[in-house]
A and B are shown apart, each in its own frame.
Chain A
Amino acid sequence: MTEEKAKVKHRTRRILNRFGRKRGNLIPILQKVQGELGYLPREAMLEVAQFLDTPEIDVYGVVTFYNQFRLNPPGKHSIRVCLGTACHMKGGYITLDAWKRRLAIDRGQATPDREFDLDTVACVGCCVMAPVTVVDDKPEGKVEPTKVDGILLSFERERERQGEERR
């Protein structure tokens, strides 16, 4: 575990080297760190606070204020259900339920095998394709419960194929 922590510290420091010690850089720094580590572990936030000479609570305050920052590691595939107005009115909440049911997790959680994480997003601006789910950064349009099953099936096939290749 301590080895893991040291690694996080090391990687965070390497990112910090690219930035000036200015408070205005806090959000871009956190974005970069999360971009590389996938989330913002405690050690990373401590490093950032020290680097900017800011109280730790301020860094934590910013991290928890903004929706994009996460405190726990993501899954391998990210599922983001759009809950914009158009998506909601065309059944985005039903789609979210379908994802929850199939993955057996709630929004903001990852599956125990860390294969998927599920979250919602305010609006990705693809309102004409509603209801939209962003799967690994690709917006998928008209995702109804049956398409949820279809997307999961394609991931399953992918895994099977990879398994066969390995064998």
Chain B
Amino acid sequence: MKATRRQSVVSTFQEIKSQAESRWRELQGGKPVIMVGVATCGRAAGALEVLRAIKGELKRQRLDCPVVEVGCMGHCYAEPIVTISKPGYPPICYRQVNPVIAQRLIREFILGDDPCLEFVLGALEENDLVPSFSDFPRAKFEKKVILKNCGHIDPGQIDHYIVNGGYAALAKALQLKPEEIINEVKRSGLRGRGGAGFPTGEKWKICRQTSGEPKYVICNGDEGDPGAFMDRAILESDPHSLLEGMLIAGYATGARYGYIYVRAEYPLAVRRARLALRQARKLNLLGNNILGSDFSFDIKLFQGSGAFVCGEETALIASLEGEPGNPHYRPPYPTTNGLYGKPTVINNVKTLACIPHIIQNGAKWFASTGTEGSKGTAVFALAGKVVNTGLAEVAMGTTLRQVIFDVGSGIPGGKRFKAVQIGGPSGGCLPESALDLPIDFDSLTQAGAMMGSGGMIVLDEDDCMVEIARYFLEFTQRESCGKCTFCRLGTKQMLEVLDEFTKGKGKIKDLDMLIELAEDIKAGSLCGLGKTAPNPVLSTLRFFRDEYEAHIKEGRCPALMCRDLIAYYIIPEKCERSCDACVGTCTVEAISANEKRIKVIDQEKCVKCGTCLSACPPQYNAVVKLSPPSQVPASK
């Protein structure tokens, strides 16, 4: 690029940046700033009610403080989260805020000077007043790169992203040659975060070197793995980081158009991404001659329609072309024959979100984190039976134990850890013996799971391994596109066998058939969905065969989960005559009191929903689950 053009990029970006800064300063104006986390997880916990309460109270008190709607900080267990930055105090986060607490925070902290320490989650900076996040045990393992901005900036304000260093990487990239960027990405060792772990720089290079116009960059945001929500959080909390990554990818590969493919189940992510695109276009960060350079690029948003298989790249392309999402045979790969037959780069949301950081801080900086074969950080969605549910970003090579027990604070309720399910329907369940495995692309695959996109469901002693295998197979069976016979019919067969197991009807020799079917499905399927569908069954069979055998041989579910193999029973000696808690809550009126006022469950009517078990006061603890159901003493 000519020196004058380079000059123009620098000055145009400086202009945009200083305007954003002055607008932002004006908005803040030395007043206390209140931030409310309103990503989907916050909303489910009641963040919108909190937001309304805050705005109402500010109006009542005639206070003029900016209220900023931010995304998800990753501490989902503490939602709704409100952060208050008042001059003279460190920025303080409050947990599980409800409308009443919100009003108190305004009256006592904003108006008064009491920071209401009883509601504090932590401070964002180190200080002498309240414990900060860096004092948390998890801080030792967390390394925020992609999630750095999430929950701290307003995803609906491009200014806020720019003020925090946004789009500087784009300005820097536009002054480099595309080949230099590709080399930088290659040197960083970045591998695709969608699960397969293909080197990103290599992918870009192939696309750049292949002739064909126009080229495309597609962001794969079809995060269909049940139990994974990292991409959702990024799209909802920091959409511009993704846009910036796509722009740099577009410039490096010589692409003209980009698509963000977001799944339909994420309506808020779709809205946020659309808004981000509009704002970027307005500042000429998208469109023709971006920042005065000769690079032109535009991005469209495409909403998926609820098909898991569209996370597979060739199926995703078919979907963009208006076809049913049937995968194609590879090669040719999309890098040479992609959307409308043109060279196309498809990257995961997290991969693209890494790019601005690599360009800005250099490949060496990025590669200084992680292991030999897997550089950078890994983002996980922690859910299930774990205390600190939410998002965690840790260096590659951190062990599963550190993520679950240090970042996630272990299992709630004093229960025992049983397994961790990683990689969704393509992954597997790893037992306690695997907890010291380092998390990277290669170790997890060797252990029989896979990195997947990063969903991590922690399972405890109450979770049945046969049931979870059945659940995943039911999912893949339903989502199979039907193209390959082995996937279409094989998964159906496997599901039928597992269904029988959970009803206590299986035979021991069925276990061998399951393994045989699993191998055939892996060998006979075209795409990742079919190739990996048997993984949850194989891994549970490998590590928890005794549970399968208990179901088959004894008709017993050791975890007391499979409904056909359990019964609820009220122990007469423990039942309290004067208490009616279970009778009142039973959803099907299956519980009645006998002549001694002892409660009895009518096993015929019982639907095994477990409401009585949670209703029974802990001091009596009279309701128990029994397996097999024949253990229930016959009523007199």
A residues neighboring B (CB under 8 Å)? 22-28, 30-31, 52, 61-62, 65-69, 83-91, 94, 97-98, 101, 121-130, 132, 137-141, 144-146, 148-149
Contact = CB atoms under 8 A, between A and B. Distances in A.
A125 B303 contact: no
B109 interface: no
B585 A146 contact: yes
Nearest to B455: A85
B325 interface: yes
B555 to A, nearest CB: 20
A123 B321 contact: no
A125 B265 contact: yes
23 contacts: A52-B322, A66-B325, A69-B305, A83-B226, A84-B227, A85-B226, A85-B227, A86-B383, A89-B384, A94-B609, A97-B609, A121-B265, A122-B475, A123-B226, A123-B228, A126-B41, A127-B229, A127-B455, A128-B79, A132-B44, A146-B585, A146-B611, A148-B587
A97 to B, nearest CB: 6
A94 B459 CA distance: 18
B322 A25 contact: yes
Contact of A141 (B44, B319, B424): B44
Interface string B354-388: 00000000000000000000000000010111000
B390 interface: yes
Contacts of A90: 384
B388 to A, nearest CB: 9
B579 to A, nearest CB: 17
- The secondary structure that dominates the A interface is helix
Nearest to A102: B587
A80 to B, nearest CB: 9
B537 to A, nearest CB: 15
A138 to B, nearest CB: 7
Interface residues of B, number: 63
A125 B305 contact: no
B516 interface: no
B24 interface: no
Interface in B555-590: 585, 587-588
Given A24-B322, A86-B226, A141-B45, 17 more contacts: A23-B322, A24-B320, A27-B303, A28-B303, A62-B323, A68-B306, A69-B305, A85-B424, A86-B457, A87-B226, A88-B471, A89-B459, A123-B265, A125-B223, A125-B265, A127-B389, A145-B609
B305 A27 contact: yes
B266 interface: yes
Interface in B262-296: 264-267
Interface of B: 40-41, 43-45, 76-77, 79, 223-229, 232-233, 264-267, 302-308, 319-325, 340, 381, 383-385, 389-390, 421, 424, 455, 457, 459, 463, 468, 471-472, 475, 479, 481, 585, 587-588, 607-611, 614
Q: Max chain A CB contacts within 10 Å: which of B40, B77, B226, B481? A: B226
A98 B609 contact: yes
Given A126-B44, A132-B44, A101 B227 contact: no
Contacts of B323: 62
Given A85-B226, A86-B457, A97-B607, A127 B321 contact: no
Given A66-B305, A88-B471, A127-B389, A145 B41 contact: no
Nearest to A64: B324
B473 to A, nearest CB: 12
A62 B471 CA distance: 26
B143 to A, nearest CB: 21
A145 B611 contact: yes
Contacts of A140: 44
A25 B302 CA distance: 10
A153 B541 CA distance: 44
A125 B455 CA distance: 10
Contact of B225 (A26, A123, A148): A123
B239 to A, nearest CB: 15
Q: Max chain A CB contacts within 10 Å: which of B229, B264, B383? A: B383
B322 A128 contact: no
Nearest to B319: A27
Q: Max chain B CB contacts within 10 Å: which of A85, A101, A139? A: A85
Nearest to A22: B322
Contacts of A137: 267
Given A65-B324, A66-B307, A126-B44, A85 B421 contact: yes
B130 to A, nearest CB: 24
B226 A122 contact: yes
A140 to B, nearest CB: 7
Nearest to B479: A122
Contacts of B223: 125
Q: Max chain B CB contacts within 10 Å: which of A25, A31, A65? A: A65
Contacts of B475: 122
Nearest to B75: A128
Q: Max chain B CB contacts within 10 Å: which of A25, A84, A94? A: A84
B40 A62 contact: no
B383 A98 contact: no
Given A86-B457, A89-B384, A94-B610, A122 B265 contact: yes
A31 B262 CA distance: 14
Contacts of A27: 302-303, 305, 319, 322
B324 A62 contact: yes
A128 B266 contact: no
Contacts of B79: 128
A68 B264 contact: yes
Which 10 pairs across A and B sit closest by C-beta, in order of nearness?
A: A67-B306, A125-B229, A26-B322, A127-B383, A66-B305, A85-B227, A84-B226, A65-B324, A128-B389, A123-B226
A91 B472 CA distance: 15
A65 B457 CA distance: 29
A32 B227 CA distance: 28
A86 B224 contact: no
Contacts of A101: 587-588, 607
A128 B76 contact: yes
A94 B585 CA distance: 15
A139 B322 contact: no
A90 B588 CA distance: 20
B302 A28 contact: yes
B228 A125 contact: yes
A86 B44 contact: no
B305 A67 contact: yes
